[in-house]
Structure 1
């Protein structure tokens, strides 16, 4: 951007905000060499070089603001005057008026398998197909935030799609990304939600008249849906798939590919691994291995956090795996209700590769994918460096995961650091958690653990497992327990009651507080989100606002909302297409 253009942009009501841009990605990395020639870069095409493409996004027609995250607006230093201004509405509806906007290319692997289709350009057309960054900003608290508009119109990576997002998916993303933050799960944040008065696009979805089904199937009709844009925020949107892209370029022998990979990784370290920056010049391969180790820890923590709150990402490909360790790209996600260890709502995952209890394996696969991407650079160092990288993937990640999961199990079950059912830490997973897999089938995951969080020492002292199971069945079960499941759950409850009763290092007050702080009472169940987005289609934002407020404190009791939202999925929505299962059509 020319200096005079930049000066003009910072004169308006958003001037103080725009003046805090620090677009390090544009400064550190290389543009697509065809960027200027093909500007505004709204046509699908192969992008063969560079780390980013500047674009001019396509503004929404007749935009109106639906929601703002108060927390994020304060963090960003956005005043109410700014939020209420036309300049704000313009910028966050993709009318960027010369503010630098860019999108990035990446590669895609699904559970470790490289994917080049349905990209019409044989792997050179994957990237931000309907999202663009509108700057990196230093917030009021000194933190650095990259802002991205999802639904900004087509980019070179749109693969001939329209580049839009719809209100249905945008409501889901806004509410859930903010809920995840308040649930204590690493996540991108939502800043704003803007929709169009007049603009619609066709999307595949389910007919309202489609009955409940015992099997999953993709959408069965096309319908017009209102366009919308969510602004999401993160420290960066740097991802495993980007490193993978530059490794593939290097493998094809493309000129400058090695330098492009190194440049990208050094930028990632400056932004997401700053503690490693001082060592870049003195021990590059060793720094990369340390970077891999940090990524492994972040992924172990993230996958465990998802398990803790009952979240299923649905699509955990390498392009959705941020190096920061944040959850991103809320598409075919869901919160588990009627428990099954391999549950996922995503109809495009019939093999359940990304099912609930397999997500930690998918995270390890993404760590392995990143290790593979940096291997050409590791091979230039000492052989021990490459061996250490392999060890991190093979042994380091499982050890980190075990630490994270043991802490989660103790927190969800109210056990002190010294309590365990066997002689070693492995017994927590093997003897206390895994037996729940068959015992919890058709139990509501959230309600089961929240009700367990209300069990007092008076109940514990009676050591009556059948009574405890009867209470949990009454409040959390979707179907009456059969004899085999009842026996399994009673055996588990007996073990838990004994452990808690003998745990002298955990007072009742501390146990209940710990469990209630780790077992949420409210999560964004899909039938709730459906209520919010269907009302929003008719400009009724009551359900949306209620849920936005509720999810700011999802561990609190909220007795006034208990009857409405602390409940099992209504019978009318059980196995309902578009609620129990769906595609990523958004």
Structure 2
């Protein structure tokens, strides 16, 4: 592979102190933001799939991606000139409790690429072997979880949700032993490595860890390095600059979470070490999409009892996480007012996004308080009736406001009895909604086009991902490649793709990977 293709800058590790010890020995790392560690080579790296769009961002040609050297590099078997692999040191609150040092336990960043258009991209291998932060684990990832991250990163991008990206999915030729549900039934699974791509992988926990240790000089360095690299548009100095930066983090977080709620995405493990300071969706583990609308649903078996990270609480959890972040930053401020201003900006931005998205999803030119109540009634009916969220919103696009017909929703229910139970209130709601649409100044074609842009038809339902995983584990990547084509254009209905826009089939109700997911990968 031509070593001149990618130009590495590695600004972050130049700006921040590193661990004086190199290598993967597990250890407590103090006074340092990162540790130098090499990926562990694998037996038989094979490129299973890639996203050409992300290769284009980096300036990688199709011929180069198809070369044998590409798989070697993005499996961690070879380094290009300028790569300086490291694992990041961070902590975090996990399920509401401070967990201390966590760090990149199976992620190794290869370096920061400066693309031809001036944008900066950090390349990170997930599953590339042990690091100082692996805490007794092997640092590897299995094919099933790697496929899920590879597909979901780009699915979210095409949905318009802020996210990290994915370049490649490489098979390792080695098995990894995993106990999927931590129930004593470990088994070998095929291993794989995903190359994740983002301007930054810094997270709330990157700042929480030095704050928790009283390492204020390192905390200050990290804030300044993050602003210089990831927020170059911010001006000023001192507390004023730091306050503006925190407000930006809060605003971006609100916008990200609002998009999750708009498309029905559930992250599943919103620990502070999984929250990006750039407001990007990161760390795709036990995620899922709502199918039958249930604000109390979480896809994470680890969270099955407390349901802390259920769909409906995601906005509140994000605020709680930002509050922990603000507490970590407090030593840099003489007055907490700038931090409170950032938290207030989160609430204001979230409220504006909720209003914007309610209008867009219902096809209204703007949403009044009465319209928000109308939307809440609709969501209550979806929950009580067990409607498929994605299909129910799309069905509203076909409603004739001059003659509203409940029949447009017949195909969105999972249970006939629950459908019958909401029949009368649903008919009443449709009448109210139709009257509101008739009063709206938008043209009908403008309304439908706007709804089509706000309400996806094709989302990465867990059972669709599992179908692709089952085929891939038998050596057939056709399901992955097919989903790539579908997910590139999630808002446009296309012939021949009815399977990808269907309700959850009965076989998936209790199948592992469809209804039940864990953090195991």
How do 1:160-559 and structure 2 match up within 5 A?
Answer: 160-197=136-173, 199-205=174-180, 221-250=185-214, 257-276=215-234, 278-280=235-237, 284-349=238-303, 350-379=305-334, 383=335, 386-393=336-343, 395-417=344-366, 420=367, 425-433=368-376, 435-441=378-384, 442-455=386-399, 459-462=400-403, 464=404, 467-468=405-406, 470-472=407-409, 474-480=410-416, 481=418, 484-504=421-441, 506-559=442-495
Would you say the 8 A contact 1:111–1:365 is kept in 2? no
- Distance in 1 of aligned mates of 2:78 and 2:376: 50
Kindly report which structure 2 residues correspond to 1:111-190, keeping only aligned pairs within 5 A, or say none. 112-115=96-99, 123-124=100-101, 126-190=102-166
Shift in CA distance, 434/137, structure 1 to aligned 2, threshold 3 Å? farther
| 2:401 partner SS | helix
Q: CA distance change for structure 1 residues 490 and 398 in 2, over 3 Å: closer, same or farther?
A: farther
1:42 and 2:17 matched: no
Aligned equivalent of 1:109: 93
> Is this contact kept in 2: 1:149–1:231, CA < 8 A?
yes
Shift of 1:86: 2.9
8 Å Cα contact 2:161-2:259 kept in structure 1: yes
How far, CA to CA, are the matches of 1:59 and 1:539 in structure 2?
A: 22
Q: Distance in 2 between matches of 1:222 and 1:413?
A: 47
Higher Cα Rg, which structure: 1
The superposition leaves residues 288-310 of structure 1 with CA deviations (integer Å, 9 ceiling, x where unpaired) of 11111111111111111001111
Partner of 1:93, secondary structure, is coil
2:2 is aligned to 14
- What whole-Å deviation, never above 9, does each CA across 1:157-184 have from its counterpart, x for those lacking one? 0000010000011111111111111111
Deviation for aligned residue 1:240: 0.5
**Unpaired stretches in structure 2, ≥5 consecutive residues:** none
Local SS of the residue matching 1:440: helix
Structure 1 length-normalised TM: 0.85
- 2:171 aligned counterpart, secondary structure: strand
Question: Please, what TM-score do these two structures have when normalized by structure 2?
Answer: 0.95
Separation in structure 2 between the aligned mates of residue 306 and residue 260 of structure 1, nearest angstrom: 33
Inter-partner Cα distance in structure 1 for 2:421 and 2:63: 62
CA distance in 2, matches of 1:300, 1:478: 32
Instruction: Mark the CA change 1:324 to 1:21 in structure 2 (over 3 Å): closer, same or farther.
Output: same
Structure 1 residue 143: Cα displacement: 1.4
Is the contact between residue 293 and residue 387 of structure 2 (CA under 8 Å) also seen in structure 1?
A: yes
Alignment RMSD: 1.7
